[in-house]
Amino acid sequence: KQEVTQIPAALSVPEGENLVLNCSFTDSAIYNLQWFRQDPGKGLTSLLLIQSSQREQTSGRLNASLDKSSGRSTLYIAASQPGDSATYLCAVPYNAGNNRKLIWGLGTSLAVNP
């Protein structure tokens, strides 16, 4: 059974810091891993999808890495800004035929202070 864990649960940093969010999963047989952003009371915005064959994926100030063998992914945010304040979620698909349900972590709640 796939379990996804995210640490830390919460993080508060001053503006400008580079930071790392962690995601771990118990079953390394994954097809990909998605990182999402969720603002309070809002929807889920996909940030990055990293394929199982990739080690890194970048979008602007965001960089996601994936180490399948150790069951870990990290999301690196460079030069953090107050607008980055949100909850960051990672999710992996459980693939069985046409079913691709996502298994989710609880998220890291990030506060970037001006």
Q: SS3 for 103?
A: strand
Based on CB atoms, which residue is closest to other proteins, 43 or 114? 43
Residue 67 CA to residue 100 CA, distance in Å, equals 21
Binding site for other proteins (CB under 8 A): 31-32, 34, 36, 41-46, 49, 51, 89, 91, 93, 95-106
Question: Shortest Cβ distance from residue 73 to other proteins (Å)?
Answer: 15
* Tokens, residue 81: 């800004």
Q: Are 44 and 89 in contact (CB under 8 A)?
A: yes
Distance in Å, CB of 114 to other proteins, minimum: 27
Comparing CB distances to other proteins, the nearer of 13 and 103 is 103
| Closer of 69 and 99 to other proteins (Cβ) | 99
